[in-house]
């Protein structure tokens, strides 16, 4: 950084430290009478030059000291001592004094006795650009406090998980809190990696926290992150995608179960609370294989690029409605119209009846898009045809845009639940290979 050259130090007023000009008898800033200034008691050093001690009257000593550090002090009072001695020449006193010469050691060539350095120095005011206050999204004026509320209008600010988006390679996902819930209890993981033969593999995991359980948001996050990491670690080693999906769901189950490990006293104080729980659905797409896995009522849909071909739903819900349809007691319309329709019969959590991961493998004969979503979306596009109609035609080329469109479709329909959707193109394009 460039700096302006500094001029020689000027004498300063002993009262206000304002710089003085030679010959001033009064300070121009505070009016201090400079003619009444006695020699400073701490400004009478003894200068040792080449080992020869120079002694002088107090006025001469003061002048010698200032000769080393800057211009001479103001002239003495008219009735004062004789004129000060001339300051040492530049040849006699080096302009820069080594640190060693500051020592009181008598053997030093030149010594300057200075007042002791202060113990503390005033701190510079912080740069205001480094502490920009967060502004309320509602009133656009108030500052947001540490608890996430506006100090002006009291409006609660959006949490980090209220709306999440991610795009990695050709895979993308969007999650939104919706219009009725006070927080987002969904979570997702998307990524891409390479198989041992160098072929691409795309991964998407979507989890929906069970609202009636304790800490559903923590459960969905733990499950999604654990399953995603397990898949991205297993596929490059040569594990079969269907087996890798099964093991990833089991690992996610263990992660959710671990959230229930709390002191017995916590259960005593809140015996009505259930263990953290969530659903899970996922998809793996390679160059020629599509594998899905799930526990609960989140779903996977298949939409061909050629919209003249029929779309399909690739998962079966673990829910009361699905059981009624499977048993032949109700048709699908009747079952899902019942208020018990969304009661799930399978989930990840310490109080689940039994963990039964479902997996299935497909080999589509044409390109298309795989939709992995929670019921916050399929509630507004339950049939495969409805889902295909809501999906943009360029979803394979613009997955993030298409995911936003689908989330918007659910919000426009009412947004009663959290909405999460991940889109994966089939087959996995070559550029999808690489580290997640």
Question: What confidence tier does 9 reach under pLDDT thresholds 50, 70, 90?
Answer: low
Return the sign of the alpha-carbon dihedral for residues 388, 390, 392, 393: positive
Residue 395 is predicted with a pLDDT of: 97
Question: What confidence tier does 430 reach under pLDDT thresholds 50, 70, 90?
Answer: confident
What are the tens digits of pLDDT across the range 276-319?
999 999 999 999 999 999 999 999 999 999 999 999 999 999 99
What are the tens digits of pLDDT across the range 323-352?
898 899 998 888 888 888 889 999 999 998
> How many Å apart are CA 183 and CA 166, to the nearest integer?
19
Residue 171 pLDDT > 80, yes or no?
Answer: yes
Residues contacting 348, CB < 8 A, separation 6+: 207, 219, 223, 249, 252, 253, 256, 257, 277, 278, 279, 280, 295, 296, 355
What are the tens digits of pLDDT across the range 192-215?
999 999 999 999 999 999 999 999
> How many Å apart are CA 342 and CA 319, to the nearest integer?
6
Q: Supply φ then ψ for residue 206, to 5 degrees.
A: -130, 130
User: Radius of gyration (Cα) for the chain, nearest Å?
Assistant: 39
> In the structure encoding, which two tokens stand for residue 364, read together?
């589509």
The model's pTM: 0.65
Q: Which of the residue ranges 104-108, 120-124, 182-186, 344-348 would you say has the lowest mean pLDDT?
A: 104-108
Residue 434 is predicted with a pLDDT of: 40
Residue 31 is predicted with a pLDDT of: 74
């Amino acid at each position: 950084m460039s700096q302006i050259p500094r001029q020689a130090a000027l004498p300063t007023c002993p009262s206000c430290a304002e710089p003085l000009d030679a010959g001033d008898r009064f300070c121009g800033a505070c009016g201090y009478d400079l003619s009444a200034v006695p020699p400073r008691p701490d400004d009478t050093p003894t200068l040792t030059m080449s080992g020869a001690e120079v002694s002088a009257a107090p006025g001469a000593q003061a002048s010698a000291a200032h000769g080393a550090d800057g211009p001479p002090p103001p002239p003495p009072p008219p009735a004062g001592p004789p004129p000060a001695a001339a300051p040492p020449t530049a040849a006699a006193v080096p302009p820069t004094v080594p640190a060693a010469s500051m020592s009181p050691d008598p053997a030093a060539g030149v010594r300057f006795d200075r007042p002791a350095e202060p113990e503390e120095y005033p701190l510079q005011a912080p740069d205001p650009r480094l502490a920009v206050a967060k502004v309320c999204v509602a009133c656009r004026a108030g500052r947001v406090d540490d608890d996430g509320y506006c100090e002006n209008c009291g409006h609660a600010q959006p949490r980090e998980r209220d709306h999440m988006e991610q795009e990695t390679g050709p895979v993308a996902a969007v999650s939104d809190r919706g219009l009725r819930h006070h927080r987002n209890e969904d979570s997702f993981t998307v990524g891409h990696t390479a198989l041992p033969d160098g072929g691409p593999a795309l991964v998407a995991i979507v989890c929906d926290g069970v609202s009636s359980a304790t800490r559903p948001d923590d459960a969905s996050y733990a499950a999604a992150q654990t399953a995603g990491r397990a898949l991205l670690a297993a596929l490059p080693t040569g594990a079969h995608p269907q087996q890798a999906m099964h093991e990833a769901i089991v690992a996610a189950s263990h992660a959710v179960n671990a959230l229930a490990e709390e002191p017995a006293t916590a259960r005593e104080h809140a015996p009505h609370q259930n263990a953290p729980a969530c659903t899970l659905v996922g998809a793996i797409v390679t160059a020629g294989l599509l594998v899905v896995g799930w526990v609960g009522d989140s779903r996977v849909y298949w939409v061909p690029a050629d919209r003249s071909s029929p779309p399909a739903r690739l998962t079966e819900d673990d829910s009361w409605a699905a059981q009624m349809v499977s048993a032949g007691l109700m048709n699908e319309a009747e079952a899902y119209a019942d208020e018990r329709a969304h009661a799930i019969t399978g989930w990840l959590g310490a109080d689940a009846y039994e963990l039964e991961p479902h997996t299935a493998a497909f080999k589509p004969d044409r390109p298309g898009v795989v939709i992995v979503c929670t019921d916050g979306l399929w509630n507004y596009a339950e049939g495969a045809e409805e889902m295909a109609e809501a999906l943009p035609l360029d979803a394979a080329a613009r997955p993030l845009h298409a995911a936003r469109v689908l989330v918007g479709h659910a919000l426009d329909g009412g947004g009663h639940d959290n909405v999460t959707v991940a889109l994966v193109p089939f087959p996995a394009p070559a550029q999808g290979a690489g580290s997640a």
